Chain A
Amino acid sequence: MAAKAGPPSSKDGAGRPADSASRLPDRLAINTATTERLLTGFIANEVRKVGFQRVVVGLSGGIDSALSAFLAARALGPENVTAIMMPYRTSSPESLADAQSVVDHLAVGSKLIEITPMADAFIAQSNADTNKRKGNVMARTRMVVLYDQSEALNALVLGTSNKTELLLGYGTLHGDMASAINPLGDLYKTQVWALSEALGVPDSIVNKPPTADLWVGQTDEGELGFSYRAVDEVLFQLVDERYSEDELVERGYDATFVRKVARLIMISQFKRALPVIAKISARTITREFRYPRDWGR
């Protein structure tokens, strides 16, 4: 169950009214067997019907990419999954060890491709002098490596962004957000924990604090300023259940926290959309020219 999975956090329950604690986790809980069936079916279907058999997935040692790899191995068979491990010199050795444990457990193919020389060359030449710029360079270097491997291995890039980070905009555009298909994009982080537990993702990965591991000591919850458990409660009610901000405040959630989350959703909308096209013609792509991606598939 989601309620007991996941890392401890000093901020757990921040802004949550006491009386909701017992009911909300039930609404956020998922049937893990059905979810697994839907997601393995999704991967097999969306990969094969466009003429591919294989996927590549960037494996960081964190829970999201571990879960994507588990689902892909079950959907396509381990022989059709290649995990790409792309450490930077500041990446924690535990991350690499955890990624290797996923590779060993699943018996999928793997490649270790250090991004340090590529990223450092870029950082030096472009004078990327802040953590944010360096972090973006690392995320986008990994994207370049993954898409190159995608071509080399005739495999689609499998995404690892979950619904929580997509809604908060907590990801790098054209970096870790880039993929061909994403099985996790409609699962909140707490649901990722629950499904990972059910699928047997190693405990060391499920239980450690989530981190983008872009610089030493970084953790998601430290950077965001709230816990995933707390923010998932608010996101789920704002987005899935369509409660208004005012209604959540009336229900006892901390007003500052609720407004902050709602604002993060709003200001990150561009990350969830294609680049906006200036309308000139009578039939503009995405306006009047509307076709499903699975056209003819």
Chain B
Amino acid sequence: MKIALAQIAPKLGDLPSNLALHLEWIRQAKQSGCDLVVFPELSLTGYFLEELAYHVCLRLDSPELGQLCEAARGTSAVVSFVEETSDFHYFISAAFIEDGAIKHVHRKVYLPTYGMFTDQRYFAEGDRIRAFDAGFGRVGLLICEDFWHNSAVSILAADGANYLINVSSSPGRGVVTGGRTLGSSDAVEMLNRMYAQFFTSFVFFCNRVGYEDGINFWGGSEVIGPDGECLAKAPYFDEQLLCVEIDPSALRRVRINLPLLRDEKLELTLREYQRILEQRFGR
């Protein structure tokens, strides 16, 4: 199985130009024989949109998404955009496209609104976290901040996901010493390895590059195997279509050696969460 991480630098608020970029990179990924091509968070619009969000939003039945569905025939694709609903709520969404149609939409659940982030000022929160079956296997799809909540990833693992996809627009910050790159990249790379190891699953992390209003995005997209090993990594700060061959049979071998998911106690977890809800939150 071959997957591609499209580490692009979208133009902020320029939907037509970003759509053209997607079509071109999808074409290249197909040409390289990839079964899946993943684009980063808000790949069609750029990230720090503020009120531009209302200019560049798309309905799920929009011609732009239709064009992407057609272009992606023969492979699968994850693209991300501002989704407008018929009741005029706006979500940061990621669509999983397969066989010429949108197979699954994940709406970002955890909207960072602290420090440099203002997601909740403009966007509605997603209210579901669900794995789904793609042609190549069962997938869990999350967006950036979602991946910082281990409960979100736990749910997907419990729901049978073998492939965890994290699409991100992670700003680079914290220029640290000691041979490492950035505080923010260190943290996310640790999370990616930790989840791959804890949930004995593949992790596909696609982060963008480029600058918006002086804020950089650090890239460093990567594929982590179910044993926590990094299988491929894109450069920091530069665009790249990272194509990598992975061996799905690693899932079987790793999970026989380390049957953590088999031994999970879902009912116990649920009981204790229920108790905590009642005792601590009065529900």
Chain A interface (Cβ < 8 Å from any Cβ of B): 26, 29-31, 34-35, 37-38, 41-42, 45-46, 49, 181, 289-297
Q: Which residue of A lies closest to B212 (CB)?
A: A294
Give the residues in chain A near B12, CB-CB below 8 Å. 292, 294-297
Query: Is there an interface contact between A31 and B175, defined as CB atoms closer than 8 Å?
Result: yes
Give the residues in chain A near B180, CB-CB below 8 Å. 31
Apart from A31-B180, A42-B211, A294-B212, list 14 A-B contacts with CB within 8 A: A30-B176, A31-B181, A34-B182, A38-B216, A41-B237, A42-B214, A45-B211, A291-B51, A292-B48, A292-B49, A292-B50, A292-B212, A295-B12, A296-B11
B13 within 8 A of A: yes
> If the complex has contacts A34-B181, A45-B211, A294-B212, are A289 and B51 also in contact, measured as CB distance less than 8 A?
yes
Nearest chain B CB to A136 CB, angstrom units: 27
Query: Is there an interface contact between A31 and B11, defined as CB atoms closer than 8 Å?
Result: no
Give the residues in chain B near A49, CB-CB below 8 Å. 11
Chain B interface (Cβ < 8 Å from any Cβ of A): 11-14, 48-52, 172, 175-182, 210-214, 216, 236-237
Q: Which residue of B lies closest to A38 (CB)?
A: B216
Q: Which residue of A lies closest to B172 (CB)?
A: A38
CB < 8 Å A-B pair total = 63
Once bound together, how far apart are the Cα atoms of A291 and B211, in whole Å? 15
A35 interface neighbour in B14, B48, B175, B214, Cβ under 8 Å = B175
Nearest chain B CB to A241 CB, angstrom units: 12
Q: Which residue of A lies closest to B182 (CB)?
A: A34
A296 interface neighbour in B13, B211, B214, B236, Cβ under 8 Å = B13
Nearest chain B CB to A236 CB, angstrom units: 13
Query: Is there an interface contact between B11 and A26, defined as CB atoms closer than 8 Å?
Result: no
Once bound together, how far apart are the Cα atoms of A83 and B232, in whole Å? 43
Closest 4 CB pairs between A and B?
A290-B50, A45-B211, A29-B177, A30-B175
> If the complex has contacts A34-B182, A38-B216, A42-B216, are A295 and B52 also in contact, measured as CB distance less than 8 A?
yes
Once bound together, how far apart are the Cα atoms of A163 and B1, in whole Å? 49
Once bound together, how far apart are the Cα atoms of A238 and B84, in whole Å? 41
Query: Is there an interface contact between A26 and B177, defined as CB atoms closer than 8 Å?
Result: yes
Nearest chain B CB to A124 CB, angstrom units: 40
B177 interface neighbour in A30, A37, A41, A293, Cβ under 8 Å = A30
Give the residues in chain A near B13, CB-CB below 8 Å. 292, 295-296
Query: Is there an interface contact between B175 and A38, defined as CB atoms closer than 8 Å?
Result: yes
Nearest chain A CB to B215 CB, angstrom units: 9
Once bound together, how far apart are the Cα atoms of A35 and B172, in whole Å? 11
Give the residues in chain B near A291, CB-CB below 8 Å. 50-52
Give the residues in chain A near B52, CB-CB below 8 Å. 291-292, 295
> If the complex has contacts A31-B180, A31-B181, A34-B181, are A293 and B175 also in contact, measured as CB distance less than 8 A?
no
- The contact sample of 8 A-B pairs, CB cut-off 8 A, is A30-B175, A31-B178, A37-B236, A38-B172, A41-B211, A292-B12, A292-B213, A294-B12
Give the residues in chain A near B176, CB-CB below 8 Å. 30-31
Give the residues in chain B near A297, CB-CB below 8 Å. 11-12, 14
B210 interface neighbour in A30, A45, A181, Cβ under 8 Å = A45
Give the residues in chain A near B172, CB-CB below 8 Å. 38
Q: Which residue of B lies closest to A1 (CB)?
A: B177
Once bound together, how far apart are the Cα atoms of A289 and B181, in whole Å? 36
Once bound together, how far apart are the Cα atoms of A296 and B210, in whole Å? 14
Query: Is there an interface contact between A46 and B177, defined as CB atoms closer than 8 Å?
Result: no
Q: Which residue of A lies closest to B14 (CB)?
A: A296
Query: Is there an interface contact between A37 and B237, defined as CB atoms closer than 8 Å?
Result: yes
Give the residues in chain A near B179, CB-CB below 8 Å. 31
Nearest chain A CB to B11 CB, angstrom units: 6
Once bound together, how far apart are the Cα atoms of A293 and B213, in whole Å? 6
Once bound together, how far apart are the Cα atoms of A194 and B51, in whole Å? 39
